[in-house]
Structure 1
């Protein structure tokens, strides 16, 4: 059981694996109805069934923004919206792949914005939104040209959305490397750990906790929250 009692509906776009799935499980355990999305309908529905009876899975690809309205057409009201869908694109400027770059830019900047646009008239007065960026915004790495750029765009997007959607709150979460996530748990992270003051990478549970903080705290708005264990000080 969750520690809190929640009501209403949460929508998690990118909720079939990793942090999105963990967040969906937490919100469902706390009492919310949850809609999760993935690109494949069967997988989204299977994951939803695994999490619990108050979770529903739908197919949605944020990189195809013209399809988002239809995919979300039967979502009646939204108390929490989390847009966590991500694709990692190792695409340096010297070997630039236009198709991959275009897909990621469309997914992250147009798709995220279109999802909020589609749902904007269904947000409850106390609704809150969390968009996922990433620490590459401030700490680029070889091949991160597109990733760094789009995450920087998310940091600006939350400010304009918070202004346009008031009183709905809009914040962004920028995780560092999440060592126990499916993407990273089998990889050597010694270098990352060595430059992280807490002596380890951050965990999925900590990212979920930070997301809940942004969703719940009524005084936090238009904020970009870094959750990286302090790597930027080294």
Structure 2
């Protein structure tokens, strides 16, 4: 299935995996619409992508904001959501407020986005959400992310039935070298990457482009729906 000329909305398309996905769709000759809460990031991302892209500022946790955004975008073909923040911390120590905030972002943000986008999609459209490997194999301190990611995976299975023939899938990444870890000291970050690389069967951590290719595949393959694509370098095996 060609993506040439197709209108693709990428929420979270201003950094990391989302930015890489937006670039990947542009390479497929799609018209890409990116959205983010940061106007500064939007300006920078549009300049970096450099062709056939438009951008909007949106807080996708707000139902009203999401509805207004899609009314501006109008009809489009494929939806990709990579935005959403989680929360790490031992179950006994993580405040309930922090857990609720994480659900509001990564689960309810994606739920609201799909709900708001639905009137503008067509029967050949696809929706691709994002969860994560911690839903399958959580380390210590990841119980909240395990719950959120599992909820997103379950939502996608239900939506693939409810919204058919629109296809609904989810990408479940492992560790990826993205700006999400930029707050860590460089030495500590590199030590973490090196340690994980030695454990993973593929021998390295993912780059955003590795994950971005999966979103393109799911938009192009018209026979894939209700599927969680785990792309973690084999982390679930160790």
- Normalising to structure 2: TM-score of the pair? 0.89
User: 2-side partners of 1:151 and 1:65: how far apart?
Assistant: 21
Structure 2 residue 231 is matched with structure 1 residue 227: yes
Cα displacement string for residues 170-202 of structure 1 (whole angstroms, at most 9, x for unaligned residues) = 001100111x32235841223322321122222
Match of 2:69 in 1: 71
Task: Please state how far the C-alpha of 1:116 moved relative to its aligned partner.
Answer: 0.8
Match of 1:193 in 2: 197
Q: Which has the higher helix share?
A: 2
Match in the other structure for 2:118:
120
Contact 2:171 2:230 in 1 (8 A): yes
**5+ residue gaps in structure 2?**
none
Partner of 1:159: 157
1:129 corresponds in structure 2 to 127
Indicate which of 86, 96, 99 corresponds to 2:97.
99
Say whether the 8 Å CA contact 1:101–1:146 is kept in structure 2. Answer: yes
**Equivalence map 1:74-93=2 (5 Å):** 74-93=72-91
In 1, Cα distance between equivalents of 2:160 and 2:83: 20
Residues 108-130 of structure 1 deviation map (CA, whole Å, 9 limit, x = unaligned) = 22221111111112112211111
Q: Against the structure 1 CA distance between its residues 149 and 39, is the aligned structure 2 distance closer, same or farther, given a 3 Å change threshold?
A: same
Q: Bigger CA drift: 207-216 or 184-193?
A: 184-193
CA distance in 2, matches of 1:124, 1:111: 22
Alpha-carbon distance in structure 2 between the residues aligned to 1:5 and 1:168: 16
In structure 2, the partner of 1:57 is 55
Who is 2:180 aligned against? Answer: 183
How many angstroms does 1:50 deviate by? Answer: 3.0
Consecutive unaligned residues in structure 1, runs of 5 or more: none
* In structure 2, distance between residues paired with 1:6 and 1:228: 29
Other structure's SS at 1:171 match: strand
Q: Residue deviations 1:138-179, cap 9 Å, x none? A: 12123222211100001101111111111110001100111x
TM-score by length of structure 1 reads 0.90
Confirm or deny: 8 A CA contact 1:63 1:104 kept in the other structure.
no
- How big is the alpha-carbon RMSD for the aligned residues of Structure 1 and Structure 2? 1.8
For residues 30 and 167 of structure 1, the distance between their equivalents in structure 2, rounded to whole angstroms, comes to: 23
Paired residue secondary structure (1:72): helix
In structure 2, what is the Cα distance between the partners aligned to 1:181 and 1:195? 19
